[in-house]
Structure 1
Amino acid sequence: MRLHRNLCFAVIDGLTSIFNEDEYADKVIQKLLKRDKRWGSRDRGFVAETTYDIVRWKRLYAEIAEVKEPFDRDNLWRMFAVWATLKGIKLPDWKYFEGTPTRKIKGKFDELSKSRVLRESIPDWIDDMGVAELGEVKWTKELAAQNKQADVILRTNTLKTTKEKLQNLLFDQNIETEFIKGYPSALKLTERANVFVTEAFKKGFFEVQDASSQMVAEMLDVKPGMKVVDTCAGAGGKTLHIASLMQNKGQIVAMDIYESKLKKLKIRARRNGVHNVDLKVLDSTKPIKKLYNKADRVLIDAPCSGLGVLRRNPDAKWKLEPEFIDRIRGVQQDVLQKYSKMVKPGGKLVYATCSVLPSENQNQVQAFLKTEAGTEFTFVKDKKVLAHESGFDGFYMALLERKA
């Protein structure tokens, strides 16, 4: 592979924004990819994947390059040189790479890889927490899985097409996919591709949604004609899945504290042909209280650490702080207490997170069931999904039923 100056500069600019200006990697990369209209798919792929790679391995590469935060541009070029050397890419004779000790880099990599926190490039405190909650063996495997690039998984919008028809349509556009056993609406890309430029996407035939995330709406066991509340809807990936399972019949109330996210959901719903969703911005407790004892189904896709989706959001591990985790556990219990009151007698509730930590998952459910609000509910089942076992995102979901 030959390195191109303009692409490498884009990567360095992106890393500056992510590491020094605290911007989110996905937003930075979206901006970078619009930088030069002449770039082809391979160029854009290089910029996105290289940036994510260096973000993912920040601690390891910084240690090998012997640089410390905050990183200036020279530091970032040194980390880039580490990335390229470990990938077996020949460094061009640019001034940024002068005096790069390529042989020393490989030796240092081998030496530092004996330590898990460096090998898997993770802050010490997250590593300690993972070991305490999952145990040494399971956490070591999970961390390794969270550092692998995630597959691109699509969820067929069954309001508009079938999985088989979608597969054929994408094949005609040179995008090959395969079915995933046990996931009724999922298609996995055999090779990465920009699916957002396809006609199939523009017509709302699919959404990009990990296989683990697709299990959440399935667990909710919705039926056409029901009243369903998605309490932390965000941009609505699960809301749209629920709508397709309900065949557009009945009512979905999609709530979120961020109006900007619900605006995105509105656009996505239009593209998906979904018209049974009411959007509610949670700027007070009024919308919640109005729905007490009214919903057949309630989904609480709770705010969490996101430690199950580090494959997709590698910068999250550098942005997380111990205080945030403590605070979010309080928020999780609070939303369980408040939102569970919307479930009518005989109705069902699903509590879900994209975390792998028991303290955010089964422990929260067990704690809830012991409270006054929780005595109204019966635990039906739960599912703990780990990336190293499933090959998909780390997730947790629990199904509770309100006593009739």
Structure 2
Amino acid sequence: MRLHRNLVFAVIDGLHLIFNENKYADKVVEQLLKRDKRWGSRDRGFVAETTYDIVRWKRLYAEIAEVKEPFTRENLWRIFAVWATLKGIKLPDWKQLEGTPSRKIKGRFDEFSKTRKYRESIPDWLDNVGEKELGNDVWTKELHALNEQADVIIRVNTLKTTKIALQDLLMDEGIETLPLKDYPDALQLKERGNIFRTEAFKNGFFEVQDASSQLVADFLDVQPGMRVADTCAGAGGKSLHLASKMDNKGQVIALDIYGNKLKELKRRAKRNGAHNIETREIDSTKVIKKLHDKMDRVLIDAPCSGLGVLRRNPDAKWKLQPEFIENIKSTQQQILNDYSKMVKSGGKLVYATCSILPSENQNQVASFLKSENGKDFKLVKDKKVLASESGFDGFYMALLEKK
């Protein structure tokens, strides 16, 4: 591979924004890809994948490069040189890369690879939390899986098309997909590509949604004609899936405290042809109280640490703080207690997170069932999805029924 100066400079600029200015990696990469209209798909792919790769392995590369945060531009070039050397890329004769000790880099890599927190590039505190909650063996396997690049999975919008028809449409646009066993609405891209430019996407025939996330709508056991609340809807990936499972019949009330996310859901619902979704911003307690004892199904896709989705959000492990995880557990319990009141007698509730920590998952459900509100519910079943076993995102979901 030959390195091109303008592409590498873009990566260095992106790393500065992510590491030193605490910007979100996905937003930074999105902006970088608009930097030069002359860039082809291979150029954009290099910028995106290299940036994410270095973000993912920040601790390991920084240790090898012998640099500490905050990183100067010189530090970032040293980290880039480590990345390129370990990838077997010949370094060009640029002044920023002069004196790169290639042999020393490989030796330090071998040495640091003996220790998990360096090998898997994870903060000490987070490594300790994962081992404490999951045990040494499971955590070691899970960390390794969460450092793999995520596959691109899409969900067929059955309101508009079928899986086979969508495969044919995408093939006509040069995109080959593979069906996934045990995931009825999922297709996996054989190669990464900009699928948002396809006519199939513009026409609302699919949404990008990881396979593990697609399990949640099935778990909720919705039927056409029901009243369903998606209480932490965000931009509505699961609301859209629920609407398609209900054949556009009945009502999906998408709730969130962030109105801007619900506006995005409205745009997506229009594109998807999902007409039974109503959005409501939670701007006071009255919004929830009006729905008490009225919903057949309630989904609580709770805010969480996001440890199950590190494959697609590698910068999260550097942004997470111990106090955030402690605070989010209180929020989860509060949400469970408040939003469970919407479930009517005989109705069902799903509590879900994209975390792999039992303290955010099974333990939260157990605590809720012992609470005053939780006494009216029973646990029907739960499902723990580990990236190391499924090959997809880490997830948890529990189905509760109101007696």
TM-score (norm 1): 0.99
The question of 1:136 aligning with 2:136 is answered: yes
Q: CA deviation at 1:181?
A: 0.6
Residue of structure 2 in register with 1:77 after alignment: 77
Whichever residue aligns with residue 337 of structure 1, its letter is N
> Aligned-pair distance for 1:287?
0.6
Distance apart, 1:172 and its partner CA: 1.3
Give the corresponding residue for 1:241: 241
Match of 2:305 in 1: 305
AA in 2 matched with 1:288: I
After superposition, the C-alpha distances for 1:73-130 in whole angstroms (9 at most, x for unaligned) are 1100100000000000000000110000011101110010000000000000000000
Q: Distance in 2 between matches of 1:249 and 1:14?
A: 45
Query: For residues 295 and 242 of structure 1, what CA distance do their matches in structure 2 show?
Result: 14
Aligned length in residues: 403
The residue type paired with residue 302 of structure 2 is A
Q: Which residue does the alignment assign to 1:60?
A: 60
How far is the alpha carbon of 1:263 from its aligned partner?
1.0
Aligned residue number for residue 376 of structure 1: 376
Residue in 2 that maps onto 1:33: 33
Per the alignment, in what secondary structure is the counterpart of residue 308 of structure 2? coil
Question: CA RMSD, aligned part only?
Answer: 0.5
Please tell me the residue identity of whatever aligns with 2:26.
D
Alpha-carbon distance in structure 2 between the residues aligned to 1:144 and 1:102: 25
Aligned counterpart, 1:338: 338
What does residue 18 of structure 1 align with?
Answer: 18
In 2, Cα distance between equivalents of 1:334 and 1:300: 11
Read off the aligned partner of 2:213 and give its amino acid letter. Answer: S
Q: Deviations over 1:38-67 (max 9, x none)?
A: 111111111000000000000000000010
Matched residue type, 1:330: S
- Between 1:150-159 and 1:164-173, the stretch displaced more is 164-173
Q: Which stretch shifts more, 272-281 or 231-240?
A: 272-281
Secondary structure in structure 2 of the residue aligned to 1:150 = coil
Residues 272-331 of structure 1, C-alpha deviations (whole Å, 9 max, x = no match): 011111111111111100000000000000000000000000000000000000000000
CA distance in 2, matches of 1:20, 1:126: 20
2:264 maps to 1:264: yes
1:6 aligned partner = 6
Q: 1:3-402 alignment to 2 at 5 Å? A: 3-402=3-402
Q: Report the alpha carbon displacement of residue 259 of structure 1 after superposing the two structures with TM.
A: 1.0
Question: What SS does the aligned partner of 1:308 have?
Answer: helix
Structure 1: stretches of 5+ with no match in the other structure: none
Paired with 2:43 and 2:270, the residues of 1 have a C-alpha distance of 32
Report the CA distance between 1:193 and its aligned residue.
Answer: 1.1
Q: Distance in 1 between matches of 2:264 and 2:41?
A: 26
Letter in 2 for 1:16: H
Residue 9 of structure 1 deviates from its aligned partner by 0.8
In the alignment, the residues of structure 1 paired with residue 9 and residue 288 of structure 2 have an alpha-carbon distance, to the nearest angstrom, of: 49
**3-state SS of paired residue (1:329):** helix
Provide the C-alpha distance between the structure 1 equivalents of 2:141 and 2:233, rounded to a whole number of angstroms.
31
Q: Distance in 2 between matches of 1:170 and 1:84?
A: 34
Q: Which amino acid aligns with 1:345?
A: S
Moved over 6 A (4+): none
> Alpha-carbon deviation of 1:254?
0.5
Q: Which amino acid aligns with 2:151?
A: D
* Amino acid in structure 1 at the alignment position of 2:108: K
**Pairwise CA distance, 1:394:** 0.1
User: What secondary structure sits across from 1:154 in the alignment?
Assistant: strand
Q: How far, CA to CA, are the matches of 2:227 and 2:117 in structure 1?
A: 47
Secondary structure of 2:288 counterpart: helix
SS in 1 for 2:346: strand
Could you say what secondary structure the match of 1:288 adopts? helix
Q: CA deviation at 1:249?
A: 0.8
Shift of 1:229: 0.3
Instruction: State the 1:174 CA deviation.
Output: 1.4
Aligned partner of residue 253 in structure 1, secondary structure? strand
TM-score of the superposed pair, with normalisation by structure 2: 0.99
Give me the identity figure in percent.
75
